[in-house]
Amino acid sequence: MRNLTFGLILTTIFAIGALVSFAWTPYDVTVLEIANKLKPPTAAHWFGTDHFGRDIFSMIMVGARTSIAVAIVAVVIGMGLGVPLGLAAAARKGSLLDEVIMRGNDLIFAFPSLLIAILITAIFGPSAVNAIIAIGIFNIPVFARLTRGAALSLWTRDYVLAARVAGKGATRISVEHILPNVANLLIVQGTIQFSLGILAEAALSYVGLGAQPPTPSWGRMLADAQTLIALAPHVALFPGFAILLTVLGLNLAGDGLRDVLDPKLRVLR
Amino acid sequence: MTRWIFGTVAATALLTGAAMAKTDVTVGLQLEPPHLDPTSAAAGAIDQVLYSNVFEGLMRFASDGSVINGLAEEWDISEDGKTYTFKLHEGVKFHDGTDLDSADVKFSLDRARAEDSVNAQKALFENIADVEAVDPLTVKVTLTAPQGNFLFNMAWGDAVIVAPESIDDIKVKPIGTGAFKFDDWKQGDSITLVKNSDYWGEPAKLDKATFKFISEPTAAFGAMMAEDVDAFYSYPAPENLAQFEADPRFTVLAGNTEGETILAMNNKQAPFDNKLVRQAVSHAIDRQAIIDGAMFGYGTPIGSHFAPHNPAYIDLTGNSEYDPEKAKALLAEAGMADGFKTTLKLPPPSYARRGGEIIAAQLRAVGIETEISNLEWAQWLEQAFRGKDFGLTIVSHTEPMDIGIYARPDYYFQYDNPDLQKLMADFDVEADGDKRTEMLQQAQTIISEDYVNVYLFQLALTTVVNAKLQGIWPDAPTQAIDLTAVSWAE
């Protein structure tokens, strides 16, 4: 429970920062003030300024927006395609459809996820949209497998049998009986994938394949700061901490949610 | 016993004190040579390691770019300017012990100008009609036409003298006449040279020189700070330079390169086919902010495609001084008061990536929106350079005296001006020095007033050296890291 609270608090802070940045940031992140570069943290610039004299606090706020947006859309893509595929495969267990879906998923899963992402952005050009698609694609097999696995055991339950006897089709059963019962698993997995998405976005931006300048992105801030570490450590420190704390928060929240939602764990306690 | 130990310590301290003057040097470099024959490849890294250190030519460049005698002790030019007679130094030996004589010179020049020669600068030898070994120490070179810069050509790294007997192995085991002998090449790591004790001229002050190849800027910083390398030629991360300057252990040498760094505009693509738009972009750019922001202050503003250290240079930065209001007015005059959207494609070097972000912000201030894409070199060459699919791009043109590219309408920025093309064609055949200078200045003015590209700054050559190391060249008049005069201060 403590994990969940702490995780949610951390996540909420960044989410609020991202939301507020739509309306207001302390400074405009698209305006460069070269004369004011690499200033250490002060009352005027809480996190200092970067090598172009931009306010790092403002950039972290807008960067949170980029990270969260990319991760959310990627999770939505993964769930939106992965869950129906998993449900369909479970409903037709052992059929050709099941084989095609699951071997297709294995194929995607066999590639290291970041490698696919780099491949996609290398082919279609680096941009935030392509990063979202890339990260979203490797979320699909995660959700498909999870859904299928959980759904398979549910299909043997008596209430599913009763539904079949009552004449419900496979699609209706999947939507009305299976899906609600795998939802808790999906929420937990979604949180984890969300944090992985943020990491993946940071990694892609770090190598220059994510959101393109002038859109601030934590990964790129970190890459830009790399050679400045000795000169102005705060430039690397703040985006680094932002990534660390968001991912930590989401992982704690995910763990906490599983504790709350998983009936098996609840019984054990 | 204790006393004995103390005695030894004191003696050792004395001994090491006497031997303190270091006799070897390690120089860091970003790029490794593909092989070690300067006469058969364009790769600058080959000359950087070997020019003057291992290989010498008849003439050579001094640190200020002037041409001085190399292996030639004296030379004489005939009345008609078509015959050059070189008298070689006596007693010059190759590193394998054989003597240098006029036959080697004839071999080297004939090899470089041969039909099947793979010399990267064949044009240097184009004008040679005949090479004759008069006696062992005299070589007579006959030209097809008088040529003012023939001695300059003979100083290039591509014109060094090689021996016929060592030519088969030259790519892995270079044998020259220089003050250093090639010792070892650990591929992917380093090249070691050792002192040539039989050197004919002023001997090297160092016993050993190692070139270490470090491509990553962060690794370069670490190696320099830990004093693993004594100097880093063309240090890749300008942001660290202030720190080196502040550190008493190091000196930062800021010299000139031939790199004109420009914001290239696609002159055939709308709206950059309109001179008013190009002029507006030029006035929207604050060069000093880019030099300060992207290069941390290193670089000289330029107003045309010409190096400031060249005698024919004229300062034309006034044609495009920073004036956002004027830029907006010009855009309005061009019928684009609301600005426009274009692409900005950036290759990997920090002048482009960082400079690009600053330029994007400056253009946004006058209403021009840019879509930045960061590209790897291969992608940049394919899309921007060959494919000409770009609106704006930033690149540094590092070839010396390359204003001639503006006479090539199919060159990537696609500037097509028959007047300039005629001027450059006349320039190529003009022999008179004053007229050549005048023509170069005319060319600079034409492209500056046509706002072909935005001329940003001359790339600086920044070399970080150990404060006690003396004699490293600050400038790069040619691709060379000449270590023959380098020594450690006591």
Residue B187 in 3-state DSSP? coil
The tokens for A144 are 């498909």
Mean pLDDT of B398-422: 88
CB within 8 Å of B18: residues ≥ 6 apart: none
Residue B292 C-alpha, separation from nearest chain A C-alpha, in angstroms? 7
- Cross-chain residue pair A34–B358, CB shorter than 8 Å: yes
> Minimal Cα–Cα distance from B199 to chain A, Å?
42
Asked whether the beta carbons of residue B374 and residue A208 sit closer than 8 angstroms, the reply is yes
Q: Search chain A and give the residue with CA nearest B221.
A: A227
For domain B56-167, the CATH class is alpha beta
Q: Which residues 335-364 on chain B approach chain A with CB closer than 8 angstroms?
A: 354, 356-358, 360-361, 364
- Mean pLDDT, residues B1-5: 45
């190009």: which residue's tokens?
Answer: B278
Q: For residue range A66-93, what is the model confidence (pLDDT) as tens digits? A: 899 889 999 999 999 999 999 999 988 8
Could you tell me if B217 lies within 8 Å of chain A, comparing CB atoms? yes
**Helical segments of B155-286, H only:** 217-225, 241-246, 275-284
Say whether residue B372 is in contact with chain A using an 8 A CB cutoff: yes
Is the preceding omega at residue B38 within 30 degrees of 0, hence cis? no
Nearest to B364 among A30, A212, A231 (CB): A30
Contact residues on chain B for A34, CB-CB shorter than 8 A = 289, 292-293, 358
Best mutation target, A205, A229, A231, to test chain B (most B CBs within 10 A): A231
Contact assignment for B293 to A125 by CB distance below 8 Å? no
If pLDDT is split at 50, 70 and 90, which confidence band does A263 have?
low
B293/A230 CB distance under 8 A:
no
Closest residue in A to B241 (Cα) is A231
- pLDDT bin (cut points 50, 70, 90) of residue A265 is low
* pLDDT range class, residue B5, cuts 50, 70, 90: very low
Closest CA of chain B from A235, distance in Å: 13
Q: What distance in Å separates the CA atoms of residue A216 and residue B455, rounded to the nearest whole number?
A: 28
Cα–Cα dist B214/B216, whole Å:
6
Residue A51 has pLDDT above 90, yes or no: no
pLDDT class for A269, splitting at 50, 70, 90?
very low
A231 vs B242: CB contact, 8 Å cut-off?
yes
The pLDDT of residue B476 is 82
- Mean pLDDT, residues B444-449 taken together: 94
pLDDT at A260: 83
How close is the nearest chain B Cα to the Cα of A214, in Å? 7
State phi, psi for A136 to the nearest 5 degrees: -60, -40
Q: How many CB atoms within 10 Å of residue A73?
A: 19
Nearest CA in chain B to A52: B293
The pLDDT of residue B74: 92
Residues of chain B found within 8 Å of residue A32, distances taken between Cβ atoms: 289, 293, 357-358, 361
Residue A46 CB coordination number (10 Å): 14
Task: Give the list of residues 6+ apart from residue A125 with CB closer than 8 angstroms, or none.
Answer: B373
Closest CB to B361: pick one of A30, A226, A231: A30
Residue A49 DSSP one-character state:
B
The alpha carbon of residue B456 is apart from the nearest alpha carbon of chain A, in Å, by 16
Q: Per residue in A165-208, pLDDT tens? A: 998 888 899 888 899 888 888 998 999 999 999 998 898 888 88
Contact of B71 with B89, CB cutoff 8 Å: yes
Chain B CA closest to residue A227:
B218
Q: Kindly state the tokens that stand for A15.
A: 């989410």
Helix (H, G, I), strand (E, B) or coil at A225: helix
Average pLDDT value for residue range B271-286: 94
Q: A263 in helix, strand or coil?
A: helix
Percent of chain B whose predicted confidence (pLDDT) is above 70: 96
* Mean pLDDT, rounded, for B345-358: 89
Are the beta carbons of B243 and A35 separated by less than 8 Å?
no
Q: The tokens of B55 are what?
A: 């290989």
* Helix or strand holding residue B456 (H, E): strand B454-466
Strands (E) in B115-237, as ranges, are 128-135, 138-143, 180-186, 190-195, 208-213, 231-232
Q: Is residue B208 within 8 Å of residue B193, measured between CB atoms?
A: yes
CA angle, residues B217, B221, B226, in degrees to nearest 5 = 150
Distances A25 to A11, A244, B4, B393 between C-alpha atoms, Å: 19, 22, 72, 31
**Tens digits of residue pLDDT in B294-334:** 898 899 999 999 988 888 899 999 999 999 999 999 999 99
Nearest CA-CA partner of B92 in B199, B204, B203: B199
Task: Indicate the class that CATH gives domain A2-22+47-268.
Answer: mainly alpha
Element (DSSP H or E) covering residue B444: helix B433-449
- Vertex B30, ends B258 and B353: CA angle to 5°? 65
Listing DSSP states for B84-118 in one string gives: EEEEEPTT-B-TTSPBP-HHHHHHHHHHHHSTT--
| Mean pLDDT score across all residues of chain B | 88
As a whole number, mean pLDDT of residues B410-439 equals 87
Cα–Cα dist B62/B69, whole Å: 9
Report CB contact under 8 Å: B293, A37: yes
> B56-167 and B257-459 share one CATH topology?
no
CA distance B125 to B105: 13
The contacts of residue B82 (CB under 8 Å, 6+ apart) are B142, B143, B144, B145, B146
B404: pLDDT strictly greater than 60: yes
CB contact under 8 Å between B374 and A213, yes or no, is yes
CB-based contact B237 A230, cutoff 8 Å: no
B378/chain A closest Cα distance in angstroms = 12
Does residue B242 sit at the A interface (CB-CB below 8 Å)? yes
Residue of B nearest to A216 (CA): B357
Distances (CA, A) of B223 to A15, A26, B354: 41, 39, 24
Q: What is the pLDDT of residue B3?
A: 47
Q: Which residues are within 8 A (CB) of A90 and not within 5 positions of it... i.e. 6 or more apart?
A: A98, A147, A148, A151, A152, A154, A155, A174, A178
Measure in Å the smallest separation between the Cα of B330 and chain A Cα atoms. Answer: 23
- Distance (Å) from the alpha carbon of A119 to chain B's nearest alpha carbon: 14
CB contact at 8 A, B258 and B306: no
Most confidently predicted of B72-81, B183-192, B475-484 = B183-192
pLDDT at A264 (0 to 100): 64
Per-residue pLDDT band for A147 (boundaries 50, 70, 90) equals: very high
Per CB-CB distance under 8 Å, the chain A contacts of B364 are: 30
Select from B103, B156, B163 the least CA-distant residue to B133. B103
Strands B341-346 and B454-466, bridge-based pairing: unpaired
Angle, CA B246 vertex, CA B243 and CA B249 arms, to 5°: 100
Angle between helices A113-124 and A128-155 (to 10 degrees): 140
B363-394 pLDDT per residue, tens:
999 999 999 888 887 888 889 988 999 999 99
Q: For B230-261, what is each residue's pLDDT tens digit?
A: 999 989 888 888 889 999 999 999 888 888 99
The confidence score (pLDDT) of residue B18 equals 44
b/e map of B338-364 (b: 16 or more CB within 10 Å)? ebbebbbbbbebbbbbbbbbbbbbbbb
Backbone angles phi, psi at B259, to 5 degrees: -90, 100
Q: What is the CATH number assigned to the segment(s) B24-30+172-255+461-488?
A: 3.40.190.10
Round to whole Å and give the CA distance between B63 and B319: 33
Q: What is the ipTM of this complex?
A: 0.73
Site from B291, B374, B383, B389 to mutate, A interface, most A CB atoms within 10 angstroms: B374
Residues in chain B closer than 8 A to A53 (CB atoms): 293
Among chain A residues, the shortest Cα distance to B378 is held by A122
Separation between Cα atoms, residue A187 and residue B62, nearest integer Å: 71
Q: What is the mean pLDDT of residues B414-429?
A: 89
pLDDT tens for B123-181 read 789 889 999 999 999 999 999 888 777 888 899 888 999 999 889 999 999 999 999 99
Residue B237 contacts A, CB cutoff 8 Å: yes
Are B364 and B391 in contact by the 8 Å Cβ rule? The answer is no
Chain B residue at shortest CA distance from A37: B293
- Amino acid B216: pLDDT: 84
Residue A206 CA to residue A223 CA, distance in Å, equals 5
Q: Do A230 and B354 touch (CB under 8 A)?
A: no
Domain ranges of chain B: 24-30+172-255+461-488, 56-167, 257-459
CB contact under 8 A, B357 and A32: yes
The H helix count followed by the E strand count for chain A is 11, 0
Could you tell me the pTM of the whole model? 0.75
Residue B490 structure tokens: 């006591």
CATH classification (class only), B257-459: alpha beta
Q: Cβ of B240 and A35 within 8 Å?
A: no
